[in-house]
Amino acid sequence: MLTTSFELVFYHIPKCGGTSLREFFRQLYLANGFHEEDMYISHNAHNIPDIMNTDILTQILPVLQNNKIILAHINHNLYPNLPSKFNITCIRNPINRCISSFNHFTLQANPDYNLAKLYLTDKAQFDKLCSNCYSCPSNAWFRNNILDFNFIIIFENLDADLKDVKNMLGFKTQIDVPYIDPCKQHKHRPNHFKFNMNNNLHREMYEYMKSRLDKDIALYNKICVTRKLSNNFLIK
């Protein structure tokens, strides 16, 4: 078991700006007296694993004992095993997150896929793409109790939220948000999808995705309301 309490644990949900947020927190803590060796930042290419199950957690416990900051993809069910002074995550409009997942993960594996064509010809595959959101039972990305987090960043309010987080952490250092786009290379692919709400098919797809993501949208809206954000953030 861990004998330490971390300063901060960031639960990185995929396709919610997490790459930029990891770098923001890294820079913020480095500017305030911490060191690289104080941070556990998962990176598959460098054989620093994400913390997705108890086996991995047990394996890396000796490393974590020496860390103060964790920035990683983390199975939310491991929350009680990672005691922290500040637990934080970031969520995103589920429809936009789903599109981003398609543009990054699906096109990376299947560059010939076309989202509009899938919608018209293969609803089962289209639904499968929609299923990988926050509250999906097979997913490990979000805790049922939102109060387990000290703060939940809304991707659509990123700059303002990070100012609030910095103040909550007691840091005065000015750190610009380092916008990092890990799937930038996919944006030049012809099948990279972006909604055009003047297109009848796209409007139909949007409404269909709302119906498939209704639980995740309800959760997103609930958090926006809890955060007392403007009605402009709500998905209606």
Give the per-residue pLDDT at 135: 79
* d(C-alpha 85, C-alpha 20), whole Å: 22
Which stretch of DSSP H or E encloses residue 117? helix 115-121
Does 119 reside within a domain? Answer: yes
Q: Which tokens go with 188?
A: 């030049």
Predicted confidence (pLDDT) per residue in 188-202, tens digit = 677 889 999 999 999
Does 171 reside within a domain? Answer: yes
Supply the range of the domain harboring residue 201. 8-233
pLDDT band at residue 138, thresholds of 50, 70 and 90? low
3-state secondary structure of 91: strand
Count: domains in the chain: 1
Are 10 and 72 in contact by the 8 Å Cβ rule? The answer is yes
Predicted confidence (pLDDT) per residue in 77-131, tens digit = 999 999 999 999 999 999 999 999 898 888 888 888 999 999 999 999 899 888 8
CB neighbour list of residue 111: distance below 8 Å, 6 or more residues apart: 189, 191
Predicted confidence (pLDDT) per residue in 19-42, tens digit = 999 999 999 999 999 999 999 999
Assign residue 196 the CATH number of its domain: 3.40.50.300
Cα radius of gyration rounded to whole Å, the chain: 19
Are 91 and 152 in contact by the 8 Å Cβ rule? The answer is yes
pTM score over 0.75:
yes
> Strands (DSSP E) along the chain, which ranges?
8-11, 39-41, 69-72, 87-91, 151-154
Does 3 reside within a domain? Answer: no
